[in-house]
Each structure stands twice: as C-alpha cells, then as structure tokens.
Chain A
Amino acid sequence: MSIACVVIPHFALRVALLDRPELDGAPLVLGPAQGGRPVVTDATPEATAHGVRIGIGLREAVALCPEAVILTPHPVRESAAAERIVAGLETLSPAVEVDTRQAGCYVVDLTGLERLLGPPRLAADRLLTTVPALFRPRAGIALNKFTARVAAYGALPGTVVVVEPTAIQSFLATAPVSLLPLAPDKQRRLERLGLRTLGDLAELSPAAVQARFGAEGRRAWELARGNDREPVRARLQPETVSELLPLPAPATSRETLLIAIKRLVLRAFDRAALRNRHVRQARLHASLEDGQAWEQVTTLRDPGGHKHLIEALGYRVQTLALSGPVTALTLELSGLIDATSRQELLPGFHSRRPWQLAEASRQLEQRFGTSGLYRVTEVEPWSRLPERRHALIAYDA
C-alpha cells in the first residue's frame, strides 16, 4: 500500500474562497471564464442541493437558488494555489503527480517512505496537513493510483480512506463509473447502457467492452477490476524565468501594455539564465484592477530571442480585449534552449510552404493529368469499421 491521492473537489471555487473565507458553507456557483458563455461551470454541494447543475444558465441558477453566490474563475490564482499545494506535498515525497484531467487531484508515491512518514494512514494525514483546511482536502490510500483516487473521492473532508489490497475489487464495485478517466461521450454511453458502477462494468467480458469502447474502454475495464500498473509520474521541473512588473498606474491602452511587455522581456533576457539562450514558450499574466486576471500562453513556432518574443507578444496584445485596466504584468518564460543549438535541416529536406506544394500539384496535374498528391482526411472517425474512418483525397480537391 504505497500510493496516496489527495483531492480537492470544486478546486476553482475553493481557490475563490481564499479571498472570501466567510463564504465557506454558502451555496457557491462558478461562472464562466472571461468572455465565455454565461453558464454554470461548477457548483458546491450546497448549491446543487437546490437543483443547480453544471451547464445551466447563470440566470436559471439564480432562480433556482437565490442565495447562491456567483464567483468567477481566476486562472492565475488557481495555478499559484496548485503550485503551492504541490510544493507542500513535495516536501514529504519526491514523486508527486498532478492530474492534468482533474484540477485539484494529486497522486503521491509513498514507496520507501514508511520510516520517514510512518504507516500509510499517518502519512496521508501528514499530506493533508500541507493543504490549507479551507480547501477541504481528502485523501485515499491504496496499492495503485486509480483505487487511491476513488478512495479519496469517497472520503469526507479532512479524512483518509485506506483500501486494503485484498479489498480492492469489493471497494471499487460500488464506485460510480463517472470516476473513470473516460471522455464525456463514453461516460454517457456507459450510463445509457445501464452501467452505473465500476462493478457493473467489471462483470462484463473484456472483449465485449473493447468491441464497443475500443482501447479506452478496455483500460476502463481493467481499472474497474482494480488493475492499474501506471506508476506515479513525478512532474518535471522545467527551467523557467519569471519577471513581474507592477504598473505605476493602471493601464488601459495597448501602447502602454506593449511598452510594459517590452520592458519585461528585456529585463528577463538580462538575467544570467537567459544569456545566449532562446525560449519556446511565454506565459503572460495580467492582473486587472477589479481583482480579476487574464492569462495567455504563447508558444513560438521556432525558439527565439528577445526580438522574436516581443514581436510575438505584440501580435497577441493587438487582438486583446481586457475587461478592465491592468495593474501588473507577469511574464514566465519556459522551454529554454541554447541559442546556438538549433539544428538546421539538410538542403532539400526543408518543408515546403503550402503555396509551393499547391504549385507543384498544379504542375504535376498539367503534365500527367493527375498530381498523384493526396492528403489524409477524416470521413467517419467514429465508425466501427476501420476502413470508413479515414480516406485519401486529392491534394487539390
């Protein structure tokens, strides 16, 4: 028993509570990100008890639960909070995996740490103490990742559920299929077939499940039977450079933002870590005067230096629509590589520009009647007959 899972249900809402802890226990509804459709994206159990559901309009949510408090997502604070939580867990175990499919879900490998952290239940208690109580974290411990995750979601806030190795199958049998890592359409199909618990799925024959749901379904069947050999993958520690620039006065014009971005980039490239180096990715955070935030990740097609980056970020700012004045900008650069390490392709192996390819196609067609160039296109990607899924069509069709 060596894997622990710490989960924080309704993570975005819990992060929003950090600013307004007095709202803890009130019916909370999470609205859309900036510019999104006004629908409910998450709701606490206190709100769902009144009939509020994910996906309904905010007006309907307020009509169903007039005392509901509507909060807006804050991606900058969410990522900062997640970072603090992971850093806290990493003080106890070097292998902490962040679940990218579910915010607020962390898997911790406790293998070999018994003498340091004590028996599993005590170790999980210590993991929970690294997370602020306002997040209402809960933990599960089991032999594998999936069972630990199911156990954690079944635990009460601040408690630990330990699943003994001999009891894995019976424990999983009553858990809902919604805990399986399946795409939403497959989840719905399972429910339409009357498969509501992992036990229902585990009772089917693996061939039947695979025939209907493909490889993903087969994996879900294995998980439902408690077979999960996936190791805990500790997150990579990417080398990053961050720069913060508080603006002397809240900025609204694009010109001011461009000047600020230029200063940020030049300041970052002045750092020793970026001397003679290029970057692949830039994450720009903007803190707005009304307390909200905006964030955008820009990935450069080719790694570039400061000029290239200023130009790329400048293009993004041109099309930007912010809801309020900006009070501070943060730039985080990642994917750092040596400026001199770029590998050029051999002559003749350069990828052709699309217009060059189109021109070549036209020339071939002129000469031979057909260009002989095709591209792969999706026809019925959902089809159970493999030959119906994709086809080659003439490049110029």
Chain B
Amino acid sequence: MVAPAGAETRADRVRCLNLPRPVQVTVNAQSGMPVTLHERNRRHVVESIQDSWYVDDEWWRDPISRHYVQVILRDGAIRTLFQDRIADRWFEQTY
C-alpha cells in the first residue's frame, strides 16, 4: 500500500529504528578501550578489539562525536559499542 502523494506523515506515528542502547563499560585507563561490558547483571569480558572508528558530525548545530569500537567478547559474540565523547557515556548500537 502506498500512501497518497502529498499525504502528511505525523511525527507521532514515526518510530526511530536502531536507537543507541545505554550500556555500562569498564575501560582500560591507558588506551581508553573497553575491557568489560556489564549487561543485565552479567559481565562480559572483551577478548579483542576488532575495529574502531570515529564519527564526528553536525558540528554546526548539536555536535555529535562518537568513538565506535567493534569488540569480540570472550563468548565469541561481536558487538559494536560507542562512546559519546561529549556526554562521556557508552552505548551499544549496530552499525
């Protein structure tokens, strides 16, 4: 079904997908990279860092500065975390 052209989409009927989920992370004091991920009373040890990259955007309005880290946990799961470098908080988000 295609909505008729010109039909308005109400903002209250739109839901964002893949929103960042706050997580608790312990980081290595020297490198700043995550070493453990705390989730639902469980502690996951980060086995290795697979990749990391920065996303800096929208500096002209509300600046966004994120440090994404793709980690491999000890149980083999691959997770993508990022540090909000402005609020200094960690989130999980599929990239």
Contact = CB atoms under 8 A, between A and B. Distances in A.
A385 interface: yes
Contacts of A391: 14-17
A376 interface: yes
A159 B93 CA distance: 51
Contacts of A251: none
B55 A385 contact: yes
Contacts of B57: 384-385
A390 interface: yes
A358 B53 CA distance: 43
B14 A392 contact: yes
A393 B64 CA distance: 25
Contacts of B15: 374, 391-393
A309 B2 CA distance: 29
Interface stretch (A164-172, A206-214, A263-271, A314-322): A206-214
A387 interface: yes
Interface in A368-397: 374, 376, 384-387, 389-397
Interface string B8-45: 01100111111110000000000000000000000000
B13 A206 contact: no
A390 B10 contact: no
Given A207-B53, A211-B53, A393 B14 contact: yes
B1 interface: yes
B95 interface: yes
Contacts of A348: none
A132 interface: no
B86 interface: no
B3 interface: yes
A393 B13 CA distance: 6
A354 interface: yes
Nearest to A354: B1
Contacts of A374: 15
A387 B57 CA distance: 13
B51 A394 contact: no
A7 to B, nearest CB: 33
Nearest to A393: B14
Chain A: interface size category: 20 to 34
Contact of A386 (B3, B51, B94): B94
Given A387-B18, A391-B15, A397-B10, A208 B1 contact: no
Interface residues of B, number: 24
A87 interface: no
A134 interface: no
A357 interface: yes
A148 B93 CA distance: 38
B6 to A, nearest CB: 13
Contact of B53 (A208, A354, A396): A208
A206 B17 contact: no
Contact of B18 (A357, A390, A393, A396): A390
A385 B64 contact: yes
A393 B15 CA distance: 6
A375 to B, nearest CB: 9
Interface string B55-92: 10100000010001000000000000000000000000
Interface centre among A210, A357, A395 (most CB of B within 10 A): A210
B5 interface: no
A393 B9 contact: yes
Nearest to B19: A387
29 contacts: A207-B52, A207-B53, A210-B53, A211-B53, A211-B68, A354-B1, A358-B1, A374-B15, A384-B55, A384-B57, A385-B64, A386-B94, A386-B95, A387-B19, A387-B20, A389-B17, A390-B18, A391-B15, A391-B16, A392-B15, A392-B17, A393-B9, A393-B14, A394-B9, A394-B13, A395-B1, A396-B1, A397-B7, A397-B10
Interface of A: 206-208, 210-211, 354-355, 357-358, 374, 376, 384-387, 389-397
Given A207-B53, A358-B1, A393-B15, 17 more contacts: A206-B51, A207-B51, A354-B1, A386-B94, A387-B16, A387-B17, A387-B18, A387-B20, A389-B17, A391-B16, A391-B17, A393-B9, A393-B13, A393-B14, A394-B9, A397-B7, A397-B10
